Structure 1
Amino acid sequence: MHELRFGLTAPAQCSYLPEQQEQLVFLLPEQPLDAGLYQQLLQLNFRRSGEQVYTPHCPACRACQSVRISHADFNASRSQRRLLHKAARDGWHYKLCDSASSDYFALFSAYINYKHHDSSMFPPTRSQLEAMLDCSWLTVRYLEQYHQQQLVAVSIVDDTADAFSAVYTFFHPDVQAYSPGLLAILYLIQCAAAQQKQWVYLGYQIDECRKMAYKAAFLPQQRFIQGQWHSFG
Structure 2
Amino acid sequence: MFRLGLTPPHPCDYLPGELSRSLVVIDEEALDPRAYEFLLAQGFRRSGTHAYRPWCDRCRQCIPARIPVAAFRPNRSQRRILGKNRDLSAEWHSATELSDEQWQLYHRYLQARHGEGDMARAGRAASNDFLFSHWAETELLELRLEGELVAVAVTDVQPRSLSALYTFFAPEQAGRSLGSFAIIEQVEAARAAGRSWLYLGYWIAPCRKMSYKANFLPLEVRRPEREIRAEQWQRLADRQAREAFLAELESDSFHWSREYSVQK
Corresponding residue for residue 220 of structure 1: 218
The answer on whether the counterparts of 1:132 and 1:167 sit within 8 Å (CA) in structure 2 is no
Distance in 1, Cα, partners of 2:89 & 2:144:
5
Corresponding residue for residue 247 of structure 2: none
Distance 1:191 1:175, change over 3 A: same
1:98 Cα deviation after fit = 1.6
Corresponding residue for residue 83 of structure 2: 85
The answer on whether the counterparts of 1:109 and 1:124 sit within 8 Å (CA) in structure 2 is no
Corresponding residue for residue 98 of structure 1: 94
Distance in 2, Cα, partners of 1:8 & 1:52:
13
The answer on whether the counterparts of 2:141 and 2:153 sit within 8 Å (CA) in structure 1 is yes
SS class of match (2:118): coil
The answer on whether the counterparts of 1:112 and 1:124 sit within 8 Å (CA) in structure 2 is no
1:231 equivalent in alignment to 2:254: no
Distance in 1, Cα, partners of 2:217 & 2:22:
28
**Of 21, 24, 28, the match for 1:23:** 21
Corresponding residue for residue 55 of structure 2: 57
The letter of the residue matching 1:97 is H
1:133 Cα deviation after fit = 3.8
SS class of match (1:222): strand
The letter of the residue matching 1:119 is G
The answer on whether the counterparts of 1:139 and 1:159 sit within 8 Å (CA) in structure 2 is yes
**Of 173, 176, 179, the match for 1:178:** 176
Corresponding residue for residue 66 of structure 1: 64
1:193 Cα deviation after fit = 1.0
Distance 1:126 1:223, change over 3 A: same
Corresponding residue for residue 203 of structure 2: 205
Corresponding residue for residue 146 of structure 1: 144
Gaps of 5+ in 1: none
Distance 1:213 1:152, change over 3 A: same
Gaps of 5+ in 2: 239-264
CA deviation string 1:143-190 (max 9, x = no partner): 111112111111111100000001111111111111110111010011
**Of 112, 123, 136, the match for 2:134:** 136
* TM-score normalised by L of structure 1: 0.94
**Of 120, 123, 133, the match for 1:122:** 120
SS class of match (1:61): coil
The answer on whether the counterparts of 2:67 and 2:219 sit within 8 Å (CA) in structure 1 is yes
The answer on whether the counterparts of 2:109 and 2:171 sit within 8 Å (CA) in structure 1 is yes
Q: Higher strand fraction: Structure 1 or Structure 2?
A: 1
Corresponding residue for residue 262 of structure 2: none
1:63 Cα deviation after fit = 0.8
Q: Higher helix fraction: Structure 1 or Structure 2?
A: 2
The answer on whether the counterparts of 1:74 and 1:220 sit within 8 Å (CA) in structure 2 is yes
* TM-score normalised by L of structure 2: 0.83
Deviates more, 1:127-136 or 1:49-58: 127-136
Distance in 2, Cα, partners of 1:54 & 1:30:
11
1:82 Cα deviation after fit = 1.3
1:205 Cα deviation after fit = 0.6
